[in-house]
Amino acid sequence: MGNGTGIGRVRGLGSAKSGTHHWINQRITAVGNLLLVLWLIFSLLQLPSLDYLAVTAWLAKSWVAVPMILMLISIFYHLRLGLQVVIEDYVHEDGTKFATLLLLNFYAIGGAALGIFAIAKIAFTGAAS
């Protein structure tokens, strides 16, 4: 350990390494969730029916499929950041913490991929008629 100033020894250490980035992205995706989920809720309320034909025809439109994909990215990014903090608060044992965070990453990336693929499939294969 060097014998520099206090701030020099602290810089880049501890939890202060990359917290700001995490914090800002949590806020950016919060605004994304706010706009996109409200849009989804009010769109669903406008649909004449939520049956198979109505839902697939709606999801196949590009001005629906694109915001839906953006919404999935925003939600899963936000929940990955959010649950990471929750896990770090309650899981203290190093091994378990590593495993839980690994699981969280699989869940977030896998869930987003599954949802985006479903939308793309509906959009590209056309609404079933």
Partner 1 sequence: MARPQARPLSPHLSIWKWGPHMALSILHRVTGSSLAIVGALGLVWWLTAAASGPAYYAFFLEQASSWYGYVVMVGITWAFFQHLFSGLRHFVLDVGAGYELKTNKSWSLLIPVAALFTTAAIWLSIFAGKL
Query: Is 103 an interacting residue with respect to partner 1 (CB under 8 A)?
Result: no
Query: Is 121 an interacting residue with respect to partner 1 (CB under 8 A)?
Result: yes
Residue with smaller CB distance to ligand HEM, 7 or 50: 50
Query: Is 76 an interacting residue with respect to partner 1 (CB under 8 A)?
Result: yes
* 54 interface partner picked from ligand HEM, partner 1, none, CB below 5 to 8 A per type: none
Q: Look at residues 63, 67, 71, 43 and name the one whose alpha carbon lies nearest to residue 55.
A: 43
- CA atoms of 108 and 101, how far apart (whole Å): 10
* 77 interface partner picked from partner 1, ligand HEM, none, CB below 5 to 8 A per type: none
Q: DSSP state, 36?
A: H
Q: Pull the structure tokens for residue 113.
A: 């991929």
